[in-house]
Amino acid sequence: MRPAKTPHALGFRMPAEWEPHAATWLAWPHQREDWPGKFAPIPFVYGEMVRRLAPGERVRILVKDAPHERSARSVLRKCGADLAQVDFFRVPTDRSWTRDFCPLFVKDASGEVALTDWKFNGWAKYANHKRDDAVPAAVARIQGRRSFAPTWKPRGASPRRVVLEGGSVDVNGCGTVLTTEECLLSKVQERNPGATRKDVERFLRDGLGATHVLWLGEGILGDDTHGHVDDLCRFVGPSSVVLATERDPRDGNHARLAENRERLRGMCDQSGTRLTVIELPMPEPVVFDGQRLPASYANFYVGNAAVLVPTFDDPADAQAVGLLADLFPGRKVTGICARDFVWGLGTFHCATQQEPA
């Protein structure tokens, strides 16, 4: 039997987030246990996200049933969001972190948009993830798009789907991808046991068209996803990145972020161009109920007309928003308070997924 052709072999690539979108995908929040004791304001944060994104693109929202949709519509009206720009789909989910379980969309030179359906295993931590794992297949049926389910064959085992979350990678759209060893290579993360560095690089090439992989080390403290790169380092141009930076040597993030800065110092894009590294400040530690949370300005989301930046009632908020505003001229860069939102262990990039135009 001939092996199935991969997206890369067929000329598909994952576009950069700043390339034109057809839509942004969200899943309306319902899992109260993700924000224990703080769920009440969370739908209104989603409402503000939709209000900011809708002027530039459609917003596609997954809801579990009719009452859930009515609740979402009510919140969106109160927030002043343009409901004419919103589509609802009855697709049940376990959680709301569409970055990690929604399909990663790819596009070819003819303009065809397809989707990649990676296995989602609840970040190798949560048992209730089967509905989230089924979302890409549901989106493929809804849209009638071509879908690819990347697989691999571990030594001595049957073929299986590759486990990958969208927050573990960031692309420049030209063939280069950023990721971390902590997430995709460490033995404790249980995503693709036995996979080597070469195996993972092959997964990223075949599935996303990433021919050049840049490996960072550890992610930030408080991140329960084993070091997702979208809390750490993000492309802001084909050969430019922002890197979360902690100036206080007493902070637990200082050493790990400095080590990643050293790695980036010698890195280039797929064409051999040296990366420009722009330092993005870290907020002061956000702690709730004795737990350090993954508060990071790097978890911003780039829409067609808006950039959503999480803020934390912190002195560095204005600096972070201003820096990103300089990097994305032509888009309205807006800070939205995420101090309660981050109690769910993610912010705006974690809660969104872009569909290319």
Name the DSSP letter for residue 124.
G
Distance CA 149, CA 279 (A): 36
Q: Half-sphere exposure of residue 226, counting CA atoms within 13 Å on the CB side? A: 22
**Do residues 170 and 178 touch, judged by C-beta distance below 8 A?**
yes
Instruction: Tell me, yes or no, if 350 is annotated catalytic.
Output: yes
Q: Which residues contact 343 (CB under 8 A, 6 or more apart)?
A: 35, 36, 38, 288, 293
Write down the catalytic residue from 102, 183, 233, 350: 350
Per-position b or e across 284-293, b if 16+ CB within 10 A of its CB? ebbeeeeeeb
**Do residues 300 and 349 touch, judged by C-beta distance below 8 A?**
yes
Using DSSP's 3-state secondary structure scheme, residue 267 falls into: coil
Q: Which two tokens stand for residue 180?
A: 């971390």
CB atoms near residue 92 (< 10 Å): 16
Residue 104: name the closest of 112, 96, 95, 114 by CA.
114
Reported as type and span, the H/E element at residue 332 is strand 332-337
Residue corresponding to tokens 């990433």: 210
**Do residues 193 and 237 touch, judged by C-beta distance below 8 A?**
no
Enumerate the active-site residues: 350
